[in-house]
């Protein structure tokens, strides 16, 4: 069925249904709803039925009753419904009376009064209107006894109203004279007794009020209020508080109740505050919502007290290391208007403790701006303190990675304490870290103008020159440091490093003589640096002067017998110059180490043999390494790789399985073993290992291994071999001694 | 001599709180104490908490003293001290409970007393319908 025909069908059904809604049907629907107390449903049906030609005769009266019932079953009776009921049944006093009462209850006495009077003027008079009308007269402050309504009241009502009138005019003694006996008047007796300071009687009468059945909550809340006053006068704070809170919950909202409740909470909070419990005091104040800001409690300064409590609670929390709560309290105090310098300092400290350095920096800045300017002020800061605070601001910015602001504020700090060299050095450090070398150099010059031998400034200047590639300048500065402090360890190390770097450059450029000279100069200036001796020895070996080589190598080893970088360099030098006995001696020296050399270092020596095509020696060394590190995956992998090259795949697989016995997911071992299995035609096994390798490599984010796996699989399974990289070609063409030299230099710098 | 007397009075004014973050509070001193008072308070405390028998307490006392030992260090310490809240003298101006009788409460109660104004249940006023 199409959408259009479906819509047409629905419309047709609705039309037919409407046609079926005749007056009797609707009337019956309304009756059903009415009997189920669904007065809205009844009203809806009967309102429709009224417009039908065949409307039932009693429909208007029924509808009026439905409106009446809906009105009075509402917690706040609806004026509109009652007006509707009155309109539908204009001659019915009952509905007009309830409309008047509802007006009265909605504080519209001027609407209620004429209705009440009309009702009383009827014949016979609608007597129920007399008492509420009399109440309206009393509320208006008029003499009810002179009003025509008086004659419609019963004798008992007249007596009670006379008493109430007297009470409302603050004549309690007169009120007591008029009050008839009986439970119904216990509230008025209680109020009169209270006004006459007859507290016991008042209390008894008010207690009776609480027991009265069907009493509206408002008169009961008045009784509760005065019971609370009596309790408070007897210093019974808890009962007073209970009565007043109950009165408030029952809808009493007089200024005196708000004021007394506020005072009571305030007193309790004050007691907590004075015993050092500001948080508990705050909780008490928080139980007084709606009590703040009323003009009827002007002397309490609840807001000011709350602010004070937040300051105290924050201070207590901070002292206990609870900085999140301290910050919360102080922020509340600030939001409430406290903008004092002391609060700003505390906020800054709290933000710092919570790692919010950006906010802390801004707050410290604000604290600086607000510092007392008069030197006589107890919190006055001297110039050094101002500088120190600016420095602290800068440090906070720096921790917040806001280096621009950090530099600006460090400059402010320097302005306040221009002779503070440490401060200026901090500025230099951050300028250098930001790569602002020239600005850093300028600051360093200013320091060195004042203190030419200031070593921290000199070291920073040397670092600055070196990072700019001005090696000679850097060397000169390090030399200057050593003139002042000959044993300065960093200067010695850096100077040796610079000589080494320069010497290696000369070797690369093919100028061994110049390299020789620079290494010799380096040794002259840093005579105890082993690597310079080793390098110098290497240059002599290039020049085939093996006596000098031996001399400098021995010196290097004597200076630092355990320096692996030196030993590595010497070992390779001997191998590269075919001095295998000398290399063997170095190896023996390594083997004699008390604690074995690291596996990685030993494997690099194997590489040295490999580069010189010394297979047998490489194997012997590998066997030694395996003996030292039988379970080290790096070693087992290296052996497996060599076995594969020697076409001993089955043995290689054994080494790889040894790795997997300890770690079944080892990515590299799985890759290699998969490759071996593939070459043996065991495709399924190969793929399983490759899968494990891939999963592990992804887990470890090892992109290099993933690439290797991809290349291996492509090559073996699809015959796709990647072209040799340009970089690989270049490295392949590099002389082995030079690439070894470069590697060592890298390690040396580390 | 005058200073010494002043110092001994101050030392007794506050109870030293070894756990406090404020070094003055650790030494039981006011922030206005002079260097001699600081020194005297320190030595008095380490006599009470000797390093041999109370090494942890000694460390706390020593750390606090280090922060105040010289004018320079003290100036730095003072910059980053938690600021105590100002004094609050609320009790002096605490108003009393209002015990008065308010005639206006009579009228308030009257509004919901004794007549239909105080009623909430009108079931008994419902009338039957005739349809």
* CATH code, domain with B49: 1.10.287.110
Q: Is B35 within the bounds of a domain?
A: yes
What is the pLDDT at residue A721? 63
Give every CB contact of residue A669 below 8 A, 6+ residues apart in sequence: A633, A636, A637, A640, A656, A659, A660, A663
* A411-446 pLDDT tens trace: 999 999 999 999 999 999 999 999 898 899 999 999
pLDDT at B2 over 50: no
Q: CB A672: neighbour CB atoms within 10 A?
A: 24
In a domain, B42, yes or no: yes
Q: Over range A293-319, report the average pLDDT.
A: 79
DSSP state of B97: P
| pLDDT at res. A287 | 72
The pLDDT tens digits of the residues spanning B3-16 come to 333 333 344 457 88
pLDDT of B95 strictly over 90:
no
Of the candidates A588, A589, A514, A525, the residue with the CA atom closest to the CA atom of residue A557: A589
- Closest residue to A259, CB basis, from B98, B122, B130: B98
The distance of A492 to chain B (nearest Cα, Å) reads: 34
> Residue A34: its chain B contacts at CB < 8 A?
129
* Band of pLDDT at residue A736, cut at 50, 70 and 90: very low
Q: How confident is the model at residue A734 (pLDDT cuts 50, 70, 90)?
A: very low
Angle between helices B55-68 and B35-48 (to 10 degrees): 180
Region A146-155 average pLDDT: 93
Residue B47 forms part of a structural domain: yes
Cβ–Cβ gap B117/A342 under 8 Å: no
DSSP track, A295-330 = TT-TTT-HHHHHHHHHHHHHHHHHHTT-HHHHHHHH
Contact A191, B105 (CB under 8 A): yes
What tens digit of pLDDT does each residue of A666-720 get? 999 999 999 999 988 999 999 999 999 999 999 999 999 999 999 988 888 887 7
Alpha-carbon distances, residue A66 vs A61, A664, B121 (angstroms): 9, 84, 16
> In this structure, what token pair is assigned to residue A723?
């072209």
Residue B38 burial (CB < 10 Å; 0-12/13-18/19+)?
buried
With bands split at pLDDT 50, 70 and 90, how would you rate the model's confidence at A289?
Answer: low
Question: Given this model, what pLDDT does residue B12 score?
Answer: 44
With respect to residue B39, please indicate whether it lies within any of the assigned structural domains: yes
CB contact under 8 A, A270 and B94: yes
| Cα Rg of chain B, angstroms | 33
Those of residues 96-115 in B touching chain A at CB distance below 8 A are 96-115
- DSSP conformation letters of A218-268: HHHHHHHHHHHHHHHHTT-HHHHHHHHHHHHHTT---HHHHHHHHHHHHHH
Q: Given pLDDT bands bounded at 50, 70 and 90, which one contains residue A653?
A: very high
Which of these ranges, A35-39, A318-322, A473-477, B91-95, has the smallest mean pLDDT?
Answer: B91-95
Measure the CA–CA gap between A421 and A431, rounded to whole angstroms. Answer: 15
Given pLDDT bands bounded at 50, 70 and 90, which one contains residue B47? very high
Q: What is the mean pLDDT of residues A191-218?
A: 92
The whole-number average pLDDT for the span B14-40 is 90
Q: Give the pLDDT confidence score for residue B93 in this predicted structure.
A: 62
Number of compact structural domains in chain B? 1
**What ipTM was estimated for this complex?**
0.72
**CA atoms of A627 and A634, how far apart (whole Å):** 13
pLDDT for residue B5: 36
Residue B97 forms part of a structural domain: no
Is A551 or B108 the better-scoring residue by pLDDT?
A551
pLDDT tens for residues A54-84?
A: 777 889 999 999 999 999 998 888 899 999 9
Q: Chain A within 8 Å of B92 (Cβ-Cβ)? A: no
Q: Do A135 and B109 touch (CB under 8 A)?
A: no
What is the dihedral angle through the alpha carbons of A646, A650, A651, A654, rounded to the nearest 10 degrees?
140
List b or e across A472-495, with b for residues whose CB sees 16 or more CB atoms inside 10 angstroms.
eebbebbbbbbeeeeebeebbebb
Domain-embedded: residue B54? yes
Selecting from B91, B95, B101 the residue whose C-beta is nearest the C-beta of A263 gives B95
Q: Give the distance from residue B85's alpha carbon to the nearest chain A alpha carbon, in angstroms.
A: 6
Q: Is residue A354 less than 8 Å (CB to CB) from chain B?
A: no
Residues A633 and A617 sit within 8 Å (Cβ to Cβ)? no
Out of A160, A254, A315, closest to residue B84 by CB: A315
Q: Is residue B40 part of a domain?
A: yes
B87 contacts chain A (CB < 8 A): no
Domain span at residue B37 reads: 2-79
What is the rounded average pLDDT of the residues A330-358?
A: 95
Average pLDDT for A169-180: 85
Given a contact cutoff of 8 angstroms between Cβ atoms, the answer to whether A560 and A530 are in contact is yes
- Mean pLDDT within A200-224: 91
Tell me, yes or no, if A299 comes closer than 8 A to chain B by beta carbon.
yes
Answer whether residue B13 is part of any domain: yes
pLDDT for position A594: 87
Whole-angstrom distance, CA of residue A313 vs CA of residue A277: 8
């Amino acid at each position: 069925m199409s959408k259009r025909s479906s819509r047409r069908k629905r419309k047709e059904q609705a039309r037919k249904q409407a046609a079926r809604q005749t007056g009797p049907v609707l009337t019956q629907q309304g009756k059903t709803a009415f009997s189920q107390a669904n007065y809205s449903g009844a009203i809806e049906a009967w309102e429709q039925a009224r417009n039908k030609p065949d409307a039932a005769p009693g429909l208007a009266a029924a509808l009026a009753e439905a409106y009446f019932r809906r009105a009075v079953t509402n917690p706040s009776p609806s004026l509109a419904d009652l007006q509707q009921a009155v309109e539908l049944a204009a001659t019915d006093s009952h509905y007009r009376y309830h409309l008047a009462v509802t007006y009265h209850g909605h504080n519209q006495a001027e609407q209620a009064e004429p209705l009440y009077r009309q009702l009383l003027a009827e014949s016979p008079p609608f007597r129920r209107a007399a008492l509420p009308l009399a109440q309206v007269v009393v509320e208006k402050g008029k003499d009810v006894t002179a009003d025509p309504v008086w004659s419609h009241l019963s004798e008992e009502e007249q007596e009670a109203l006379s008493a109430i009138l007297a009470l409302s005019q603050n004549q309690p003694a007169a009120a007591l004279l008029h009050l008839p006996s009986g439970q119904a008047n216990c509230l008025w007796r209680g109020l009169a007794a209270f006004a006459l300071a007859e507290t016991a009687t008042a209390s008894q009468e008010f207690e009776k009020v609480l027991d009265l059945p069907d009493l509206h909550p408002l008169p009961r809340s008045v009784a509760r209020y005065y019971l609370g006053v009596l309790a408070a006068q007897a210093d019974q704070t808890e009962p007073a508080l209970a009565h007043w809170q109950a009165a408030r919950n029952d809808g009493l909202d007089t200024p005196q109740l708000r004021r007394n409740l506020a005072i009571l909470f305030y007193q309790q909070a004050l007691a907590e505050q004075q015993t050092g419990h500001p948080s508990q005091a705050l909780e008490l104040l928080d139980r007084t919502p709606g009590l703040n800001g009323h003009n009827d409690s002007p002397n309490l300064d609840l807001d000011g007290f709350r602010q004070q409590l937040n300051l105290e609670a924050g201070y207590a929390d901070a002292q206990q290391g609870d900085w999140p709560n301290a910050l919360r309290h102080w922020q509340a105090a600030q939001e409430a208007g406290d903008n004092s310098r002391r609060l700003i300092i505390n906020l800054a400290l709290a933000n710092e403790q919570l790692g919010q350095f950006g906010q802390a920096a801004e707050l410290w800045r604000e604290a600086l701006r607000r510092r007392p300017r008069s030197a006589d002020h107890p919190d006055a800061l001297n110039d050094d303190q101002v500088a120190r605070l600016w420095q602290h601001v800068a440090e906070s910015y720096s921790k917040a990675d806001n280096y621009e602001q950090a530099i600006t504020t460090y400059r402010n700090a320097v302005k306040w304490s221009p002779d503070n060299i440490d401060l200026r050095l901090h500025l230099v450090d951050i300028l250098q870290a930001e790569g602002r070398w020239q600005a850093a150099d300028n600051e360093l010059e200013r320091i060195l103008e004042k203190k030419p031998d200031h070593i921290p400034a000199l070291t920073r200047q040397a670092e600055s020159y070196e990072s700019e590639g001005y090696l000679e300048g850097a060397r000169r500065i390090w030399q200057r440091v050593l003139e002042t402090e000959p044993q300065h360890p960093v200067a010695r190390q850096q100077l040796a490093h610079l000589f080494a770097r320069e010497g290696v450059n000369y070797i690369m450029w093919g100028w061994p003589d110049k390299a020789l000279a620079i290494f010799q100069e380096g040794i002259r200036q840093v005579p105890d640096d082993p690597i310079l001796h080793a390098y110098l020895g290497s240059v002599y070996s290039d020049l085939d002067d093996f006596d000098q080589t031996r001399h400098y190598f021995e010196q290097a080893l004597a200076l630092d017998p355990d320096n692996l970088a030196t030993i590595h360099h010497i070992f390779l030098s001997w191998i590269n110059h075919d001095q295998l006995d000398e290399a063997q001696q170095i190896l023996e020296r390594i083997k004699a180490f008390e604690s074995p050399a690291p596996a990685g270092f030993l494997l690099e020596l194997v590489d040295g043999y490999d580069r010189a095509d010394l297979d047998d020696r490489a194997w012997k060394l590998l066997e030694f390494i395996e003996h030292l590190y039988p379970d080290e995956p790096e070693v087992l992998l290296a052996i497996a790789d060599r076995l594969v090259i020697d076409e001993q795949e089955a043995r290689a697989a054994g080494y790889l399985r040894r790795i997997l016995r300890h770690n079944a997911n080892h990515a590299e071992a799985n890759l290699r073993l998969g490759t071996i299995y593939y070459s043996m035609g065991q495709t399924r096994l190969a793929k399983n290992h490759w899968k494990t390798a891939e999963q592990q490599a992804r887990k470890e984010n090892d992109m290099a291994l993933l690439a290797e796996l991809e290349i291996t699989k492509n090559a073996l399974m699809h015959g796709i071999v990647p072209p040799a990289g340009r970089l690989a070609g270049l490295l392949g063409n590099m002389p082995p001694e030079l690439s070894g030299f470069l590697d060592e230099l890298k390690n040396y710098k580390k | 001599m005058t200073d010494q007397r002043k110092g001994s009075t101050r030392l007794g004014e506050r109870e030293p709180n070894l756990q406090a973050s404020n070094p003055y509070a650790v030494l039981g001193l006011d922030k206005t104490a002079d260097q001699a008072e600081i020194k005297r308070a320190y030595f008095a405390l380490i006599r009470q908490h000797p390093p041999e028998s109370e090494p942890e307490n000694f460390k706390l006392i020593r750390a606090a003293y280090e922060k105040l030992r010289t004018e320079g260090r003290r100036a730095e310490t003072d910059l980053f001290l938690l600021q105590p809240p100002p004094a609050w003298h609320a009790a002096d101006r605490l108003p009393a409970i209002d015990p008065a009788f308010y005639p206006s409460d009579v009228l308030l109660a009257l509004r919901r007393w004794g007549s239909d104004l105080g009623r909430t249940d009108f079931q008994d006023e419902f009338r039957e319908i005739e349809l």
